[in-house]
A = this chain, B = another copy of it.
């Protein structure tokens, strides 16, 4: 015969606030064992304490209630551990990101004016490429590109240039929008992979060398020049991945060169 305790006692026993316990009840994460039909008083079983302790620790690790629920309701130990490990991996990724951001912040504060970068102009004549397109959130960009290029590399037969990507305005401005991963050349379409005809575009181009966290500074330098000369036109930005730490950034412009 198990002991029932009031919400106050359960709170003291689990270090979860009463408000939190009521919230977990409301969302069905940790319903009390019993509810008095007259008074609405919640009664918890002492056997619910370990579950509550797990919930508190997962919440302290910043796991969302939905993910906590997945852990709590996992059918077996394997699934449970997988859910927890996935979260810990995410946290490690964030930690790496944090380290990089701190470094980047120090750099920015120490060196507010960036080294001047070379900007060139280029006319891209119409060309073909193998491409994958999608509407994604800005935060998913890296993961999405990794996967897309993996698929494209399998499909491409005749490469005529380095990997590149097109970013719609909305993707930058709204945190959600169209993205295209492309490999110049020809190959086998199928699945998400399709052939893409790239139109003629004029670009102002800058090369970003160095850590990815700094790439906004190159964008800013390039954008400043384009804005200063009032030559910007609409159309997606393009990045070309020259090497592991060299990215070519292409900003669409018009009439940078006298007509032939």
Instruction: Using CB atoms and an 8 Å cutoff, list the residues of chain A in contact with chain B.
Output: 3-5, 8-9, 11-15, 17-19, 46, 49-50, 53-54, 56-58, 60-61, 80-81, 84, 88, 91, 95, 97-98, 101-102, 104-105, 108-109, 112-113, 138, 169, 172-175, 216-217, 219-220, 223-224, 227-228, 232, 237
Contact = CB atoms under 8 A, between A and B. Distances in A.
Given A50-B108, A54-B109, A224-B49, A98 B12 contact: no
Integer count of this chain's copies in the complex: 2
A253 to B, nearest CB: 12
Majority secondary structure of chain A interface residues (helix, strand, loop or mixed) = helix
Contacts of A138: 17
A147 to B, nearest CB: 22
A126 B13 CA distance: 27
A173 B17 contact: yes
A57 B101 contact: yes
B220 A13 contact: yes
A1 to B, nearest CB: 10
B105 A61 contact: yes
A202 to B, nearest CB: 17
Contact of A108 (B17, B57, B109): B57
A232 B15 CA distance: 17
